[in-house]
Structure 1
Amino acid sequence: MLVVHHLNHSRSQRVLWLLEEMGLPYDIQRYERERSGLAPKSLREVHPLGKSPVLVDGKQVLAESGAILEYLVDRHGKGRFAPPPGTPERLRYTYWMHYAEGSAMPPLLMKLVFDRIETGPMPFFVKPIAKGISAKVKGMFIGPQIRTHLDFMEASLKDAPWFAGAAFSAADIQMSFPVEAAAARAGLDASRPRLMDFLARIRARPAYRRALERGGPYDLMS
């Protein structure tokens, strides 16, 4: 039996979604974030980094959402959820599977960190300085980077409805996290209609909704 070590409000929701798309049976081991927002230390008993998601398949213990999705597609996909090897669509698929965390997420995470600097507790005499530094970093670097990535993602959907091409794939599941994070915390709105349409279409998928029912709260980037 597949077991997903699932942290609320986290990337592990993508693993649940792919499992629901595949129709595979699985169990969930649930974890709740600590008051700091970090994963509980008990996750270190499953994987040394103490993060989620972690997938256990027999003796296999895998971390990193992208690696888990690729493993599930290769082992259990039966030719689904990835374009055929050697095709242009497969190259696009591989690119977006890695782009999601390697390029799209870093500026979004930086924005989250600097937003928290502005709102977090600190001595009153430090707050104006911290706010000023945070605003400058976001204005000069983080904001422009996020806009560049959103424009790039928007343009990539010009000629096909899904990130790897005409067919839905695991790359769309992997890309869902940065797109949803951008909608929740980084200004993604109707000015980028293709990305908003992508969001509407993934959220309408029955497997996506079943994964939310099983996974529980999913307030991105909170």
Structure 2
Amino acid sequence: MATRSETRDRKTSSQTRSGRTNDSSRSAFSFGEGSAAGAAPLLGALAAGAAIGLGANWARKFLMQKSESMAAGNEWDEILKLEHKATLAKFDLLLATDDSDTGKRAALVKTIHYALNKHAHQEEQVVYPALRQANETVDADHLEHEHGYVKTFLYELENMEKDAPQFLDRVREFRNLVAEHVRMEEEQVFPHFRGELSEEQNTKITMLMNKEGMKML
């Protein structure tokens, strides 16, 4: 896996070849039409569907998605930060188990799998394509490449005996990978990208990302 400095070196080289400038007009996020107003009918319809009985589990996940959006001020990067924090907390719960907690470990692995799968889907379908459209291709490719390692770890943990001697070591290694991935997104890539976008563009990304999140409920 490439280090941060290696990623930045490749990015600098790529930008030099492409002749990229700091003109914010190059970061226009243009796929899809509409604005935040389009989110209201979607949320209303989904809430109505939950209310008339699409199932307690679906409704719970729907409310979780909606509450994350509202609590974060309805901004895409803040929603992703909340998801990062919640997922790392689940890793910590898993690391606090012992070999006799096989049932709890299995349940937590499934919970982490769902959280990371939904999170990756939102990023891969909306955020990373938006980064590429804003000429941030190197960062987008690096982050999406790391999602492959995440999926490999998930597969391994789901198929590993939950009382295996190496189980917690692999969980700890997995958490470290996710934490480094999170750090790069939250401290480097997302703040820079958000700063290049207008409020209208940020709102559009939030709307599209929430729409993709609903598909994973």
Question: Given the two structures, how large is their TM-score scaled by the length of structure 1?
Answer: 0.30
More strand by share: 1
| Structure with more helix by fraction | 2
- When the two structures are superposed, what TM-score results if normalisation uses the length of structure 2? 0.30
